[in-house]
Amino acid sequence: MEKKATPKGPTLRQFQARFPTEDSCLEHLKLVRYGVKHVCAKCEREAKYYRVKARRSYECEHCGYQIYPTAGTPFHGTRTSLRDWFHVMFMFTSTRNGVAAKRVQREIGVTYKTAWRMCKLIRAYMGYVDGDDMLGGGSVIVEADKTFIGGYDKKGSDDKKVVLGMVERGGNVVARHIPSRSGRFVVPSILKNVRPGSAINTDSARAFEALEIHGFTHHPYNSAAGEKGGTAVIEGFWGMLKRGINGTYISVSQKHLQTYLNEFEFRYNLRNQPHTMFDRLLLSFPRGT
């Protein structure tokens, strides 16, 4: 099969040339969130909006009603400049392995606490970008697999966290932190994320045995007996996730694991449109009026 060239997102240099000032960031935020024209919430007419000097706002050409493009975004009410926020969001959309708060602290010159908070918020919004579209259906093959993240906590107790991954071949991945590897948690998560009746490849773990009863076409692969390739795609995703978590984040707490999974899901699911990642992230902020 011929391998298609992966499209590339912008370089840091191109990105910085596009957003050289606070105003250029604000203008872009307005365009992405509101478009060139939109119906004014006050006068209810289709309107263009013009920048209000010395404010982060724009006003309706007809009635002067003001909109704040940063409203509802994590940028609102922070002292961090839009350029710095854009820079960190760019870091998240252009990396493979994640962004450590330490690196943000160094690159934009904020405190570690601020850097950590920025990263946490960006990750949360990355999670909102992914729709709730179910995987599978028709002739599409879905692979499901479990993996463990982490090892031992500071006291030396077992601190492994279980992640269930489901991926459509050639399509999207869903990764969920589940309380244990038992079928009690595995099967409901699959039912929630994979279309009824889909073909599902798994390994031969017992947790997957009930899939057939729930109407899926289940193909358990026995890797011990030399059967290969059944879950190669999800294993590729695990490789990326673990390189990121172990290499960049070192350790991830139980409480925050799902947001890290969302981050890697976001990048995987937009892997063929890297140039759209940044605007998709801006669009994830809920808009008021």
* Residues contributing to the site for Zn ion (CB under 5 A): 40, 42-43, 60, 62-63, 65
Q: CA-based angle 248:249:251, to the nearest 5?
A: 140
Q: Which is nearer to Zn ion, 45 or 160 (CB)?
A: 45
3-state secondary structure of 255: coil
Question: At closest approach, how far in Å is the CB of 37 from Zn ion?
Answer: 11
Question: Strand runs (DSSP E) across the chain, as ranges?
Answer: 37-39, 46-52, 57-60, 66-67, 141-149, 161-168, 173-178, 199-203, 217-221
Q: How far apart are CA 234 and CA 250, in angstroms?
A: 22
Q: Which of 88, 97, 93 is nearest to 115 (CA)?
A: 88
The residue among 45 and 96 lying less far from Zn ion, judged by its C-beta, is: 45
Q: Which is nearer to Zn ion, 160 or 287 (CB)?
A: 287
Phi/psi for 81 (5° steps) reads: -70, 155
Closest listed residue to residue 48, CA positions, set 38, 56, 57:
38
Rounded to a whole number of angstroms, the minimum distance from the CB of residue 30 to Zn ion is 15
């289709």: which residue's tokens? 46
C-beta of 59: minimal distance to Zn ion in Å? 8
Shortest Å, Cβ 92 to Zn ion: 35
Cβ-based nearer residue to Zn ion, 61 or 107: 61
Q: Choose between 60 and 162: whose C-beta lies nearer to Zn ion.
A: 60
**What's the closest the beta carbon of residue 39 comes to Zn ion, in angstroms?**
9
